[in-house]
Amino acid sequence: AGGPLCKSGDDVTKLVRGMATSTGPDPAADESSDRPAKRPRLDSNGEVSRGHRHIAAVILARGGSKGIPLKNIKMLAGVPLIGWVVRAAVDSKVFDSVWVSTDHDDIESVAKKCGARVHRRSAAVSKDTSTSLETLQEFSKLNPDVDVICNIQATSPCLHPHHLKEAVEMITKHGYQSVFSVVRRHHFRWQEVKNGVTSTTALNLNPAQRPRRQDWDGELCENGSFYFATKELIGQGILQGGKTAYFEMQPEYSVDIDVDIDWPVAEQRVLRYGYFGKDKPELLRLLLCNVSGCLTDGQVYMSAGAEEMLSVNSRDLTGISMLKKWGMEVILISSSENPVPKPLADKLSQKTGCELVHLTEQKQVEVERLMMKKKLAWEEVAYLGNDVPDVGCLNLAGLGAVPLDAPMVALNAAKYTCQNPAGRGAVRDFIEHILRLKERVSVEVEPPCSNLTELNSDQKSEH
- Which letter does DSSP use for residue 48 in this model? B
CA distance 394 to 407: 13
CA distance 208 to 158: 38
Strand 178-185 vs strand 244-249: parallel, antiparallel, or unpaired?
parallel
312 and 408 fall within a common domain? yes
Give the mean model confidence (pLDDT) for residues 40-69.
71
210 is catalytic: yes
Q: Hey, is 76 helix, strand or coil?
A: strand
Say how many C-beta atoms besides its own lie within 10 A of residue 174's C-beta: 14
Which residue range forms the structural domain that includes residue 399?
284-443
CA distance 150 to 95: 9
Say how many C-beta atoms besides its own lie within 10 A of residue 354's C-beta: 20
Q: Does the pLDDT at position 457 exceed 50?
A: no
> Residues 166-210: pLDDT tens digits?
999 999 999 999 999 999 999 999 999 988 888 999 999 999 999
Sign of the torsion formed by the C-alpha atoms of 7, 12, 13 and 17 = positive
**Nearest-CA neighbor of 170 among 243, 83, 241?**
243
CA distance 405 to 395: 18
Q: How far apart are the first and last CA of the chain?
A: 14
58 and 182 fall within a common domain? yes
Instruction: Check which CATH number belongs to the domain holding 298 and give it.
Output: 3.40.50.1000
Give how many domains the chain has, as a whole number.
Answer: 2
Instruction: Check which CATH number belongs to the domain holding 181 and give it.
Output: 3.90.550.10
> Residues 84-109: pLDDT tens digits?
999 999 999 999 999 999 999 999 99
325 and 241 fall within a common domain? no
379 and 240 fall within a common domain? no
Sign of the torsion formed by the C-alpha atoms of 217, 221, 225 and 229 = positive
On whether the CB atoms of residues 56 and 36 are closer than 8 A, the answer is yes
Length of the chain: 463
Least confident span in 13-17, 161-165, 342-346: 13-17
369 and 261 fall within a common domain? no
407 and 303 fall within a common domain? yes
The active-site residue, picked from 35, 189, 210, 272, is 210
Q: Hey, is 393 helix, strand or coil?
A: helix
On whether the CB atoms of residues 165 and 20 are closer than 8 A, the answer is yes
Give the mean model confidence (pLDDT) for residues 251-279.
88
317 and 420 fall within a common domain? yes
User: How does residue 346 score in pLDDT terms, banded at 50, 70 and 90?
Assistant: confident
User: How does residue 48 score in pLDDT terms, banded at 50, 70 and 90?
Assistant: very low
On whether the CB atoms of residues 161 and 88 are closer than 8 A, the answer is yes
318 and 261 fall within a common domain? no
